[in-house]
């Protein structure tokens, strides 16, 4: 029984048959036929594709129908969002920003010292990176919650890759120059991607890959901190877990310094306790936020009183006083290190970008404000370019500090300005006081910070939802902890792409059945009640048909045919005389796809089976027509719906149902 | 007016509501609801994926329900198809094979000499390659039409890559050893892909890329032959068009040898004329097939009589007599050349494989016999491994000779055996006679052969059907002619993959409208008559939702919403209160996709717009359920069809329609 046939008789619109560009069977639903969209010319086609690829966010939308003056203002505003929100700024907002800024400053200062160590540079460079870049970002960035500065993973990646080129202990000056060169190119990369609107490139790192990569990097960083935490002097420079654990155990008897161990673990316990408190009660987030600063103050005081540094407790010893010196003349503008710096910078810049954009988007969704990926990249890029000229290493958005910033009630990027000012003050006034800060406490602060990067909840969620994604996660994770951060990153990207290609190569070809009493056809695996139509094989191809899967799809269809034939013979059912391919999900088809469809048609014709096509989409029908496949198969074998096709091929089967 | 509603009342099956795993709205079509497929356990999921990836052709199908003896026979037969078809072999078939074998032998002998030159080895190695490999293939291959031997493109690729490692003029012995090493690894690669069932890897080279690559290689080869055709002595060893044309013109006044030019162009004209005759009248294909042999005989005789070789006409001079010597001890089994040979062999093997499989499939489709890609690869691999041990270079299926084989009426691989025997005879008896064959004629034969690789018709077809494919074609083509064969190949693979990734990154999100008088919703761009439903935005996502496009899809949906809102405000239509996402084409969704869907839901909820999901597929609904998205959006907002969703959201809009 056909649901649609009842109303069909009343409804056949008389005007439709006069339209020219129709393809398909005349008996289609209510006189509707498969339509072939008017073919665009090549230029329009090309410009449409380009628009979707590069300008999908319609960046000029706001400029439409505006007076010239307004357009100019909007133009300035689009590069400097600060111009937009500064006019609405008020004391109430400033109160939130001030508290948030002070909180993240107290969190960032000890972290900066630690992250500078991860990058194998002196502590002041970490602080420099929390002074200049946040100011640039505040003017140019569109996120209201991002806290800018050096971050653990990027600093580790930078340190790891720089170390492979220059030994930071033997040639500290050249190492530093290469670090600034890399930072410069990180900025160029980020700004370049933004200006060229190639931001979509970072989408190729999947969420699962990022979760695995971050967890691996966190463990790697935490393990490296064992050096500081245990006071071990001879320690591997490799970052993989095997070498690090080997260093820890081979020093277990004579290499550890018990005073350091006591200080380190005491403060680690303190920091983790404050974190636990904060996670139990969200209102107490500030306890965890100021704990690192307290740990630094208390431990520095203790060491100063007891002079524990004379008993083998390592201390920071020296931080240069004063603000960022210029580093314009330090960057390698030529020579072999230019290319090496560029390579390192591109990698570090991309990772920094991925992190900042992900964090920015998360908070933008929470507060529902728009964030423009490409403009964001430009802001981050300019910030790192300026940073590289003022003695900074690569800066980006920090996940932990951004979260604190958000919870402390920041409302604009002014919190970054406040933080920057506090860092300025620190650089001018307080740095000498850090002299007695024990390295073990810095190590404890880094460990407690990076543990937050291990997202068990996300990993469990991924495991539950998508096993293949979980494999990508594990690949990135193990790549980082057993080899290195770069290898882990490479594994993450390759696995992410391989996952897409795998799905494109082996798409599903589903067997459809009729839902009783309707004209609807659905996958019999999903709908066990859906009934097959005798003599007709109805298949749905669940993917675009491309060169990479066209042959598989053809063979899979022939396999379905063979299996159904075997089944029919066993059950004494009639032979299959029609194969209906429902093409709704086929978004696109390429020349190889059309060719395989033609081959399928030939093979079926030889076997006296008629091929029918149901519901081809606009692109598909256009290409089938261009390739003259529609002529070869015959327009009467192209239907608007699978139901129409069945009604035509097996009218009796339907009536008996 | 809803077409389905009429029959709905009679049909609501009472038993359906008792089924447990249903999700979705109770008012769905005729009581049918979206069903969640029973979740497979991980192992079964994994084995199903593995099966589709590696054993999609169900290789053990024939063995099912067979007695043990028969299974053994089938097992032997599956490795040596000759056991299968030899039993039905008869004199009638042999007649066809004999004629075909003799024809392709007359074609292959002069070609072999030329292709050996492309690979920078002495002429006899080309003939060796037409003796041993065809015999192995005849026993193991499943194609009945493939003519085996050295082919132009693979020989050129091999010569190009080998030359980069060892100079063939300075170190001919080492060069030859590396050539055998590469051939060995080409065989290992091909057999390995077959055994590991990784044959799908070669699918990643798209048809368009192959057409462009082949055309580029043909032009490169033809240009290189100008050296022989013009009798130029000082000639570039590079294969790119700029260097070659430079060599030709810089020698135009003093470097050309007029006797050579006359011989060369006379026979080239002869060969092209026979080709023209054959293309005009398919029955005269043999004219073109034996023309090269006639050209060799006539020209050799002429040179011998006139002693034109003393006047500067280059001749073949010497071909070693006798059959293939062993080359087991020549292969580099260790040392630095092992890895280099392996690298070259892998590339050459893959290209050879692509060509042979494509040709094999074409003819198998023409005659409708099954061909097993993975077994075919094993056969080709074993053939090249044995070949490398018996002084052969890489062999594969030749397109031109296979076509002749087919047209001459071959019925089994026996034609390859016949050809092989003729080559054997040539090696023993006739080789000394080739001494006076002018190189210009060999050049003319190669040029006339490779011109057939330029497939204008296919290129025009690709241009008409798919512009993006045409860009891939051009990329491969220009890569080959302006840089080198390897670069062209790389460009072809990268562009092919980029095309897939581009389509996955920017999928279409289509706006749907109702086809008047039906319950069917279609893309308004394809069906201009489809009418939008007031207050409801119906969108269809035409792709799997993955990390690479999830954010784009979310933003694209929000952009549709914004545009429709603007339009509604202008036209005074009601605000949009529901967004229906029709998910039929969404084959799969990953964790990033679910996350973006959740973000979309949050944003829409903030704007007082209800999100509705229509027709999620089995994988999608399973993952949405696992991620608890179904709970969050509410089961009553998941519908079997877009029509059901509209009926629920805007019952009045439907009634008024």
* pLDDT number for residue A240: 82
H/E element, B580: strand B578-582
The alpha carbon of residue A7 is apart from the nearest alpha carbon of chain B, in Å, by: 6
With 50 as the cut, is the pLDDT of residue B34 above it? yes
Set of chain B residues whose Cβ sits within 8 Å of the Cβ of A570: none
Band of the pLDDT at B655, cuts 50, 70, 90? low
Set of chain B residues whose Cβ sits within 8 Å of the Cβ of A9: none
The string of pLDDT tens digits covering residues B486-526 is 888 888 888 888 888 877 788 888 899 988 878 888 888 88
The string of pLDDT tens digits covering residues A377-424 is 999 999 999 999 999 999 999 988 998 899 888 989 999 999 999 999
Q: In this structure, is residue A439 part of a structural domain? A: yes
* pLDDT number for residue B38: 65
Higher pLDDT, A334 or B36: A334
Set of chain A residues whose Cβ sits within 8 Å of the Cβ of B625: none
The string of pLDDT tens digits covering residues B399-449 is 889 988 998 889 899 999 999 999 999 998 888 888 888 989 989 999 998
* pLDDT number for residue A466: 82
Residue of B nearest to A56 (CA): B556
* pLDDT number for residue B11: 35
Structural domain total, chain A? 3
Q: In this structure, is residue B47 part of a structural domain? A: no
Q: In this structure, is residue A215 part of a structural domain? A: yes
* pLDDT number for residue A4: 38
Domain of residue A461 covers: 84-501
Q: State the greatest distance between any 2 C-alpha atoms of chain A, in Å, as a whole number.
A: 99
CATH number at residue B562: 3.30.750.24
When pLDDT is averaged across residues A494-500 and rounded to a whole number, the result is 83
The alpha carbon of residue A338 is apart from the nearest alpha carbon of chain B, in Å, by: 26
Is the CB of B3 less than 8 angstroms away from the CB of A6? yes
**Residue A264 and residue A314: Cα distance in Å, rounded?**
11
10 Å Cβ neighbour count for A67? 8
Query: Are β-strands B578-582 and B610-614 bridged in parallel, bridged antiparallel, or unpaired?
Result: parallel
Q: State if pTM tops 0.80.
A: no
Of B29, B465, B502, the CB nearest to A591: B465
Residues A149 and A198 in one domain: yes
With 70 as the cut, is the pLDDT of residue A329 above it? yes
Set of chain A residues whose Cβ sits within 8 Å of the Cβ of B48: none
Residues A61 and A134 in one domain: no
* pLDDT number for residue A126: 94
* pLDDT number for residue A431: 83
Residue A324 has what DSSP assignment?
Answer: P
Residues A554 and A612 in one domain: yes
| Residue A354: C-alpha distances to residues A349, A359, B108 (Å) | 9, 9, 57
For B553: left if phi > 0, alpha if psi spans -120 to 50, otherwise beta; the answer is alpha
Q: Average pLDDT of chain B?
A: 85
Q: In this structure, is residue B64 part of a structural domain? A: no
Set of chain A residues whose Cβ sits within 8 Å of the Cβ of B466: 590-591, 623
**Residue B232 and residue A151: Cα distance in Å, rounded?**
64
Residues A524 and A446 in one domain: no
* pLDDT number for residue A41: 63
**Residue A189 and residue A342: Cα distance in Å, rounded?**
9
Residues B374 and B455 in one domain: yes
Residues B442 and B513 in one domain: no
User: Among A501, A529, A557, where does a domain finish?
Assistant: A501
Q: In this structure, is residue A25 part of a structural domain? A: no
B145-149, B362-366, B627-631: least confident range: B362-366
The string of pLDDT tens digits covering residues B84-99 is 888 889 999 999 999 9
Is the CB of B206 less than 8 angstroms away from the CB of A466? no
Set of chain B residues whose Cβ sits within 8 Å of the Cβ of A10: 517
* Residue of A592, A589, A600 whose CA lies nearest to A556: A600
* pLDDT number for residue A379: 94
Band of the pLDDT at A12, cuts 50, 70, 90? very low
Higher pLDDT, A61 or A392: A392
pLDDT above 90: percentage of residues in chain B:
34
The string of pLDDT tens digits covering residues B583-618 is 988 888 888 889 889 989 988 998 899 999 998 988
Residues B494 and B517 in one domain: no
With 80 as the cut, is the pLDDT of residue A533 above it? yes
The string of pLDDT tens digits covering residues A267-323 is 999 999 998 998 888 888 888 888 999 999 999 998 888 888 888 788 887 888 888
Set of chain A residues whose Cβ sits within 8 Å of the Cβ of B49: 468, 506
* pLDDT number for residue A657: 46
In the sheet that A578-582 helps form, which strands lie side by side, from edge to edge? A521-523, A509-514, A536-541, A578-582, A610-614, A638-639
Residue of A nearest to B207 (CA): A592
* pLDDT number for residue A5: 36
Exposed e or buried b per residue across A354-376, where buried means at least 16 C-beta atoms within 10 angstroms of its C-beta? bbbbbbbbbbbbeeeeebbbbbb
Is the CB of B520 less than 8 angstroms away from the CB of A640? yes
* pLDDT number for residue A653: 62
Band of the pLDDT at B653, cuts 50, 70, 90? low
Token pair 């006798």: residue: B322
Of A56, A361, A365, the CB nearest to B506: A56
Token pair in block for residue A259: 């005073």
Band of the pLDDT at A370, cuts 50, 70, 90? confident
When mean pLDDT is compared over A52-61, A171-180, A647-656, the highest value belongs to A171-180
H/E element, B50: helix B42-54
Band of the pLDDT at A38, cuts 50, 70, 90? low
Higher pLDDT, B8 or A489: A489
Are the C-beta atoms of residues B353 and B193 closer than 8 Å to each other?
A: yes
Is the CB of A548 less than 8 angstroms away from the CB of B506? no
The string of pLDDT tens digits covering residues A561-619 is 988 888 888 888 888 999 999 998 888 888 888 988 998 998 899 889 999 999 898 88
The string of pLDDT tens digits covering residues A209-249 is 888 998 998 998 898 888 888 877 777 777 788 888 888 78
With 90 as the cut, is the pLDDT of residue B9 above it? no
Q: In this structure, is residue B60 part of a structural domain? A: no
Q: In this structure, is residue B80 part of a structural domain? A: no
When pLDDT is averaged across residues A81-92 and rounded to a whole number, the result is 87
H/E element, A301: helix A285-306
Are the C-beta atoms of residues B485 and B239 closer than 8 Å to each other?
A: yes
Q: Average pLDDT of chain A?
A: 85
H/E element, B149: strand B147-149
Is the CB of B3 less than 8 angstroms away from the CB of A8? yes
Residues B122 and B270 in one domain: yes
Residues A432 and A547 in one domain: no
Higher pLDDT, A156 or A504: A156
CA A191 to chain centre: 18
DSSP assignments along B434-489, one per residue: GGG-BHHHHHHHHHHHHGGG--HHHHHHHHHH-HHHHHHHHHHHHHHHHT-HHHHH
| Residue A60: C-alpha distances to residues A34, A155, A382, A468, A609 (Å) | 35, 36, 22, 39, 54
Query: What does chain A come to in residues?
Result: 657
User: Among B501, B520, B552, where does a domain finish?
Assistant: B501
Calculated CA dihedral for residues B240, B241, B244, B247, nearest 10 degrees: -130
pLDDT above 70: percentage of residues in chain A:
92
Set of chain B residues whose Cβ sits within 8 Å of the Cβ of A508: 587, 619
Is the CB of B516 less than 8 angstroms away from the CB of A30? yes
* pLDDT number for residue B15: 36
Residues B292 and B434 in one domain: yes
Residues B116 and B200 in one domain: yes
Higher pLDDT, A518 or B185: B185
With 70 as the cut, is the pLDDT of residue B16 above it? no
Is the CB of A11 less than 8 angstroms away from the CB of B517? yes
Is the CB of A519 less than 8 angstroms away from the CB of B4? yes
Q: In this structure, is residue A34 part of a structural domain? A: no
When pLDDT is averaged across residues A124-139 and rounded to a whole number, the result is 95
Is the CB of A203 less than 8 angstroms away from the CB of B551? yes
With 70 as the cut, is the pLDDT of residue A349 above it? yes
When pLDDT is averaged across residues A462-473 and rounded to a whole number, the result is 86
* pLDDT number for residue A392: 96
* pLDDT number for residue A40: 59
Band of the pLDDT at B12, cuts 50, 70, 90? very low
User: Among A472, A501, A530, where does a domain finish?
Assistant: A501
The alpha carbon of residue B584 is apart from the nearest alpha carbon of chain A, in Å, by: 6
Residues B417 and B380 in one domain: yes
With 60 as the cut, is the pLDDT of residue A503 above it? yes
With 90 as the cut, is the pLDDT of residue B338 above it? yes
């Amino acid at each position: 029984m056909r649901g649609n046939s009842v109303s069909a008789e009343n409804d056949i619109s008389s005007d439709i048959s006069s339209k020219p560009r129709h393809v398909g069977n005349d008996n289609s639903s209510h006189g509707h036929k498969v339509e072939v969209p008017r073919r665009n010319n090549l230029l329009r086609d090309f410009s449409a594709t380009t628009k979707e690829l590069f300008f999908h966010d319609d960046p000029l939308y706001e400029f439409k129908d505006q007076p010239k003056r307004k357009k100019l203002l909007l133009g300035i505003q689009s590069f400097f969002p600060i111009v937009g929100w500064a006019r609405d700024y008020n004391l109430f907002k400033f109160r939130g920003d001030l508290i948030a800024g002070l909180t993240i400053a107290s969190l960032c200062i000890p972290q900066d010292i630690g992250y500078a160590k991860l990058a194998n540079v002196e502590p002041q460079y970490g602080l420099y990176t929390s002074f200049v870049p946040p100011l640039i970002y505040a003017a140019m960035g569109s996120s209201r919650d991002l806290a800018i500065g050096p971050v653990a993973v990027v600093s580790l990646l930078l340190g790891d890759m720089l170390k492979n080129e220059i030994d930071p202990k033997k040639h500290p000056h050249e190492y530093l120059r290469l670090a600034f060169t890399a930072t410069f190119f990180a900025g160029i990369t980020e700004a370049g991607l933004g200006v060229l609107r190639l931001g979509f490139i970072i989408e190729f790192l999947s969420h699962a890959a990022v979760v695995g990569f971050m967890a691996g990097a966190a463990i790697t960083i935490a393990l490296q901190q064992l050096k500081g935490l245990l006071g071990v002097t001879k320690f591997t420079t490799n970052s993989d877990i095997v070498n690090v654990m080997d260093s820890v155990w081979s020093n277990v008897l004579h290499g550890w310094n018990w005073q350091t161990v006591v200080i380190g673990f005491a403060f680690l316990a303190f920091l983790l306790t404050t974190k636990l408190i904060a996670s139990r009660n969200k209102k107490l987030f500030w306890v965890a936020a100021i704990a690192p600063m307290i740990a630094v103050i208390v431990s520095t005081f203790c060491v100063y009183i007891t002079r524990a540094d004379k008993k083998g407790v390592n201390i920071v010893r020296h931080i240069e006083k004063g603000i960022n010196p210029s580093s314009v003349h330090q960057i390698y503008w030529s020579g072999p290190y230019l290319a090496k710096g560029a390579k390192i910078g591109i990698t570090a810049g991309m990772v920094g970008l991925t992190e900042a954009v992900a964090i920015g988007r998360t908070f933008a969704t929470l507060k529902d404000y728009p964030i423009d990926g490409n403009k964001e990249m430009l802001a981050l890029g300019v910030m790192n370019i300026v940073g590289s000229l003022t003695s900074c290493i690569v800066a980006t958005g920090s996940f932990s500090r951004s979260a604190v910033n958000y919870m402390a009630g920041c409302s604009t990027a002014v919190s970054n300005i406040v933080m920057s000012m506090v860092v300025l003050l620190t650089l001018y006034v307080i740095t000498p006081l850090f002299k007695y800060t024990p390295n073990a406490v810095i190590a404890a602060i880094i460990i407690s910070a990076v543990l937050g990067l291990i997202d068990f909840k996300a990993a469990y969620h991924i495991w539950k939802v998508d096993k293949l994604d979980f494999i990508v996660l594990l690949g990135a994770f193990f790549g980082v902890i057993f080899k290195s951060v770069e290898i882990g990153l490479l594994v993450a990207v390759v696995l992410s792409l391989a996952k897409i290609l795998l799905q494109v190569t082996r798409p599903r070809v589903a067997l459809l059945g009729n839902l009783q009493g309707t004209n609807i056809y659905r996958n019999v695996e999903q709908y066990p009640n859906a009934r097959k139509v005798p003599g007709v094989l109805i298949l749905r191809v669940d993917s675009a048909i491309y060169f990479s899967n066209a042959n598989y799809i053809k063979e899979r269809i022939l396999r379905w045919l063979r299996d159904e034939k075997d089944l029919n013979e066993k059950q004494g059912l009639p032979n299959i005389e029609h194969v209906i391919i429902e093409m709704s999900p086929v978004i696109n088809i390429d020349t190889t796809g059309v060719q395989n469809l033609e081959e399928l048609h030939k093979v079926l014709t030889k076997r006296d089976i008629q091929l029918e096509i149901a519901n081809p989409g606009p692109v598909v029908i256009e290409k089938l027509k261009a390739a003259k496949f529609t002529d070869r198969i015959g327009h009467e074998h192209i239907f608007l719906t699978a139901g129409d096709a069945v009604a035509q091929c097996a009218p009796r089967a339907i009536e008996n149902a």
